Amino acid sequence: MDIKDATNRIIELRSIIDRHNHLYFVENNPEIGDGQFDRLMLELRTLEDSFPDLVTNQSPTQRVGAAPLTGFSEISHNIPMLSLSNAFSNKDLSAWYQRHYSMLDDTDFEMACELKYDGLAVSLLYEQGLFIQGATRGNGITGEDVTLNLKTINSIPLRLHGEFPDLLEVRGEVYFPKSEFIKFNAQRELEGLQTYANPRNTAAGSLRQLDSNVTAKRPLDIYVYALAQIQSGISFNTQLETLDYLKSLGFKVNPNNSLAKTVSEVVKYHNIWMQNLSSLDYDCDGIVVKVNRLDYQQHLGNVGREPRWAIAYKFPAIQAQTRLMDIRLNVGRTGSINPYALLDPVEVGGVIVKQATLHNSDYIYSKDLRIGDWVVIERAGEVIPQIVRSDKEKRTGSETPFTMPVSCPSCNGALVNKADEAAIYCTNATCPAQLERLVEHFVSKGAMDIEGMGGKVGVSLIQNGLIADVADIYFLQKDKLIQIERMGEKSADNLLRAINKSKKQPPARVLTALGIPHVGSEISYLLMDKFTSIDELIASDQETLLNIPSIGPKISESVAEYFNNPNNSRIIAKFRSAGLNMISASTSSSENTNLLANLRFVVTGRLDNYSRTEIQDVIKKHGGKVSSSISKGTDYLLAGQDAGSKLVTASSLGIQVITETEFESLINNRTG
Ligand code: IVH
């Protein structure tokens, strides 16, 4: 293809991709499948690879992949980013409305009602229709340049649609969708990482990452709610008209915006959304009421840093009062002792709450919570209920202050403080409660994936003394198993089969399963990519670990501490004697060959004889490479049943497609 054809095709592809991106992320109404979309992206990426001079900053390929920054530069806002005054009652709202009568000489001006998203405000600047700069609010006058991070948000257009002005600056709220937040925290928990308290702080943290590739992994979203400046002579009459225009340029504007002609219509809007908050996938802490006519807004102007023409009418936090019946303790898999509150069951915003987290002992002491206290609890959206405070006036004198025990509630082992951490830990390696949590993790889907061993089965094996550490799982015997309650011959056989099968899991899974703090699945795969075996990892020094990108002192220290513990060494030794897979596929055993050296495979569809991980291991074992997406460099597409779009991509790029049988004979022929 010559440069002229490439230019034309690149331009065409970008606009097709931008359109589908918009349909998917803004309109929530895709016209094509993921596979088709990937294919378009691949074609564009391939063309841009061959003609690097044609790459532009706003190409859809440029949403990710930028090098980390060393710091954010400051940006001063041409138009300050204002804050809002608050109303907490219908009375406050009426007062705000009535103040404007005389100023506007209009007794029934209209208002735009919008939701007040609880995320963080950003400003987006476009020149000649191209997104060139994005900033945080900062102090309202100067913010930080977070352009690269904002580019990773798919619902932010990199190029405006239709007829665009020469210059445009819009304001909006970036948020972390609630459903994604729950998934995100669940994944962090699995990795032994601290979970985040709420979507808002997580959105803020994600947007302030120096490495935009980290931000790209956080599914942030945005609603645009204001026009800051525009140069092109287009003018609008009202706020809602302005938002319609921004929508036509490709921005994501909230569909629940609404016009109110009277204060009582605003109150209705406020009530409806207060009751329907849980139907939204984003946190809102109120509504924003804006005088709709822009000439009126102009006339009213600002007081200090707040506009007169807008007000936030906050939702009351959903609170309730109840008795704190007891403070109990959970033992986590790392031994952390986690206090929680047992409450007299109470309804909070339509949900019965019986327990609330208490985080750690500092939290209990700083709030001076006592068993028997009346407490105020608060629930925000889907987030776990929290105790806000205790009602000291209601104390009768019979309340008992809480003292953190000095020994583990499960095993009586000594509890210790760790530097820089509020939590207290049980360090007994044979603590049954820790073991229960650890076994639960060890057998879970993302770890050794042992079917039939989760939940009660694991607990009862521990309680019956059949396992004293996770390695004992591999030495279970049928005659002992069937003595356990509700464990028949058949379930025992199935369980043993599942356990046996898990021995083939790749070493990265074994590493994940150990549950070393800060070493989840992603880090485990990364580590096992660098080391040829778990033994090599154990023998490595901290410096070697620290030289691996993405591995910092927290992880390297955690790894070292884990393997320095003789109890853990014993577990590893038992794994070895049980025949677990501790050597990376590409270097393991006598079966290793170089048959597939330098050949790049992509695997798609369902295979008959291998799981996805197994086939990948076979390929690696023979020196081949596996990628997840097809590119020019792919040598073979190994396609199983129901192979989807990758087949089409492969044929369009002239890549050889082989079946499972053909793959096997490829190895055998080459062997023979
Ligand atoms: S308009 C001049 N509309 O609330 C008014 N703000 O307290 C500027 N916010 O920093 C804001 N939803 O981050 C507006 N629909 C909405 C909003 C909204 C959330 C936030 C925004 C602003 C803060 C002001």
Q: What are the pLDDT digits (tens) for 330-375?
A: 898 888 898 999 999 998 866 678 999 888 888 999 999 999 999 9
- Segment 419-454, tens digit of pLDDT: 777 788 998 878 999 999 999 999 987 799 999 998
Q: List the CATH number of the domain containing 563.
A: 1.10.150.20
Residues 356 and 297 both lie in one domain: no
- What pLDDT is recorded for position 587? 47
Query: How many residues are given for the chain?
Result: 672
Least confident of 185-199, 215-229, 438-452: 185-199
- What pLDDT is recorded for position 382? 46
Is 116 labeled as catalytic in the residue annotation?
Answer: yes
Residues 522 and 558 both lie in one domain: yes
**Residue 120 alpha carbon, nearest atom of ligand 1:** 13
The mean pLDDT of 203-217, rounded to a whole number, is 92
- What pLDDT is recorded for position 468? 92
Domain that holds residue 547: 507-578
Supply the residue whose CA is at minimum distance from atom 14 of ligand 1. 225
- What pLDDT is recorded for position 129? 95
Which of 444, 471, 502 lies at the terminal end of a domain, its last residue?
502
Residues 553 and 665 both lie in one domain: no
What is the phi/psi pair of residue 174, to 5°?
A: -90, 135
Residues 387 and 259 both lie in one domain: no
Q: In what order do the strands lie in the sheet with 85-87?
A: 85-87, 310-314, 284-291, 111-117, 258-260
Give the range with max mean pLDDT: 61-75, 441-455, 494-508, 641-655: 494-508
Residue 218: name the closest of 279, 149, 280, 161 by CA.
149
Distance CA 672, CA 660 (A): 18
The mean pLDDT of 178-191, rounded to a whole number, is 84
Is residue 62 domain-resident?
A: no
The DSSP code sequence of 349-408 is TTEEEEEEE--SHHHHHHTT-EET-EEEEEE-TTSPPEEEEE-GGG--S--EE----SB-
Ligand 1 centroid – CA 116 distance (Å) = 6
Q: Answer whether 0.75 is exceeded by the pTM.
A: no
Higher pLDDT, 667 or 6: 6
Supply the residue whose CA is at minimum distance from atom 23 of ligand 1. 83
| Contact predicate 63/220, CB 8 Å | no
- What pLDDT is recorded for position 263? 95
Is residue 204 domain-resident?
A: yes
- What pLDDT is recorded for position 471? 96
The mean pLDDT of 151-156, rounded to a whole number, is 97
Distance CA 600, CA 165 (A): 47
Per-residue pLDDT band for 399 (boundaries 50, 70, 90) equals very high
Residues 154 and 286 both lie in one domain: yes
Strand, coil or helix: what is 470?
helix
Is residue 75 domain-resident?
A: no
Q: List the CATH number of the domain containing 385.
A: 2.40.50.140
Is residue 426 domain-resident?
A: no
Higher pLDDT, 645 or 554: 554
- What pLDDT is recorded for position 380? 61
Is residue 387 domain-resident?
A: yes
Which of 79, 113, 175, 225 should be mutated for ligand 1, with most atoms under 8 A from CB?
225
The mean pLDDT of 237-258, rounded to a whole number, is 97
Residues 388 and 250 both lie in one domain: no
For residue 477, is pLDDT > 50?
Answer: yes
Which of 502, 528, 551 lies at the terminal end of a domain, its last residue?
502
- What pLDDT is recorded for position 550? 77
For residue 266, is pLDDT > 60?
Answer: yes
The mean pLDDT of 581-598, rounded to a whole number, is 70
Per-residue pLDDT band for 545 (boundaries 50, 70, 90) equals very high
Residues 384 and 437 both lie in one domain: no
The mean pLDDT of 200-205, rounded to a whole number, is 91
Please report the sign of the dihedral spanned by the C-alpha atoms of residue 112, residue 116, residue 121, residue 126: negative
Residues 118 and 253 both lie in one domain: yes
- What pLDDT is recorded for position 170? 98
Catalytic residue among 4, 91, 116, 252: 116
Strands (E), 91-220: 111-117, 120-127, 130-136, 142-144, 167-175
Higher pLDDT, 582 or 382: 582
- What pLDDT is recorded for position 548? 86
Higher pLDDT, 485 or 494: 494
- What pLDDT is recorded for position 585? 65
Is residue 420 domain-resident?
A: no
**Residue 82 alpha carbon, nearest atom of ligand 1:** 2
Higher pLDDT, 490 or 595: 490
- What pLDDT is recorded for position 332? 87
Average pLDDT, the chain: 90
| Contact predicate 265/202, CB 8 Å | no
For residue 383, is pLDDT > 60?
Answer: no
| Contact predicate 470/580, CB 8 Å | no
Q: Ligand 1: residues whose CB is within 6 Å? A: 82-84, 114, 116-117, 121, 137, 173, 225-226, 288, 307, 310, 312
For residue 586, is pLDDT > 60?
Answer: no
- What pLDDT is recorded for position 607? 81
- What pLDDT is recorded for position 671? 47
The mean pLDDT of 408-423, rounded to a whole number, is 86
The mean pLDDT of 139-166, rounded to a whole number, is 94
Residue 226: name the closest of 245, 250, 211, 203 by CA.
245
Distance CA 86, CA 270 (A): 14
- What pLDDT is recorded for position 591? 57
Least confident of 98-107, 155-164, 233-242, 244-253: 98-107
Residues 619 and 517 both lie in one domain: no
Is residue 588 domain-resident?
A: no
Residues 267 and 127 both lie in one domain: yes
Residues 147 and 224 both lie in one domain: yes
Question: Of all residues in the chain, what percent carry a pLDDT higher than 90?
Answer: 62
Per-residue pLDDT band for 526 (boundaries 50, 70, 90) equals confident
- What pLDDT is recorded for position 563? 95
Residues 211 and 341 both lie in one domain: no
Q: DSSP alpha helices (H): ranges in 547-671? A: 553-564, 566-578, 612-621, 645-652, 660-671
Is residue 595 domain-resident?
A: no
Give me the number of domains the chain comprises: 6
Q: List the CATH number of the domain containing 152.
A: 3.30.470.30
Per-residue pLDDT band for 672 (boundaries 50, 70, 90) equals very low
Which of 502, 532, 563 lies at the terminal end of a domain, its last residue?
502
Q: Which amino acid is at 73?
A: S
Ligand 1 centroid – CA 124 distance (Å) = 14
Supply the residue whose CA is at minimum distance from atom 3 of ligand 1. 225
Ligand 1 centroid – CA 315 distance (Å) = 15
Per-residue pLDDT band for 318 (boundaries 50, 70, 90) equals confident
